A = this chain, B = another copy of it.
Amino acid sequence: MGEFELIQRYFVRKQPSSSSVLLGIGDDAALLQVPDGESLVVSVDTLVSGVHFLSDAPPERIAQRALGAAVSDLAAMGARPLWYTLALTLPDVNEAWLDAFASALAQRSAELGIVLIGGDTTRGPLSVSLTVQGSVNHSMALMRSGAKVSDMIAVTGTLGDSHAGLESLLHPQKAPLDSLQWLRERFYQPEPRLLLAQAMAPYLNSAIDISDGLLADLGHIMQASQCGAEVDVDKLPYSDALLHFSQDEQQRLDWALTGGEDFELCVTFSKENESVLHSLAKQQQVPFTVIGRVIAAPTLCLLNQGEPLQHRYTQQGYDHFQRA
């Protein structure tokens, strides 16, 4: 089966129609209409087998994870998803694999409201690269650079779940089955906070999605906004499933601060907007937890019950060389 036939057979027929797509897959390029008055938002994400997912991961899971992770970058800008391109590199044409991958991708695309508009398949070691596009009113775009001194810092959802899910896949674990399943879903199927980010955008000064880990991603905000941060580690939100999964407080803290790939939002905002933000999160039934504040000094301080935490973290995340 040639490349052309492969794309036609597995990917084209599964696409829904969209009024913004004037011409979809099948020509030299797609032809698209950005909504009137909106700016375009573009991000690229690559997942490589053995690096970003286990080499024996089911194709459905690779599709779900790749698309969720990529679309999360649109959420972090306060944007609405529109379209994406897929660059798929495969070691060989395995029809069962492709069918499962394409079906899961199509289903997840429909759930996230994003349409595949171009693809390139090549032969080589398995990897998936997605360039996702969305739109946003320019004045509402959420950036990393807008944090202001004395802003409050908050996160959506709970932290450390995705890393716990991965741990449970890598090593046999004793934990209730429903906790394990929930944590694995958090790892396999990231849920971009699209609607919440769009609703909150007018009240936020800065935002990022937590892909590298809270410390690293808050570090990106600090760097872009030229400021520092204090984080109250005793305020970090944990899921019940994580509390069941790990009774080791230090381990949970490690995963929450440096585990990464929870794809929750970390945001900063003026104190006066706190109550409206809590209301918006409550409406959407998403946990929203204030965890600290922006400071002028360009450092990241961790506090426990108001006291400086003796710790071994660096702003870049966990430092293997400093471990005791």
Contact = CB atoms under 8 A, between A and B. Distances in A.
A322 B47 CA distance: 39
A1 B220 CA distance: 16
Contacts of A125: 124-125
A303 interface: no
Interface string A85-128: 11101000000000000000000000000000111101111010
Given A42-B118, A129-B120, A316-B2, A79 B29 contact: yes
B129 A46 contact: yes
Chain A, interface SS category: strand
A39 B43 contact: no
Identical chains in the assembly: 2
A72 to B, nearest CB: 8
B32 A87 contact: no
A143 B41 contact: no
A111 B214 CA distance: 40
Interface stretch (A130-138, A174-182, A305-313): A130-138
A117 B142 CA distance: 17
A271 interface: no
A215 B154 CA distance: 58
Interface stretch (A20-28, A227-235, A276-284, A289-297): A20-28
Given A34-B40, A44-B87, A87-B46, A27 B143 contact: yes
A224 interface: yes
A250 interface: no
Given A28-B209, A29-B76, A48 B89 contact: yes
Given A46-B120, A52-B122, A131-B131, A31 B39 contact: yes
A22 to B, nearest CB: 6
A31 to B, nearest CB: 5
A30 interface: yes
Contact of A32 (B22, B42, B144, B316): B42
B131 A51 contact: no
Interface string A57-95: 000000000000000011011010001011101000000
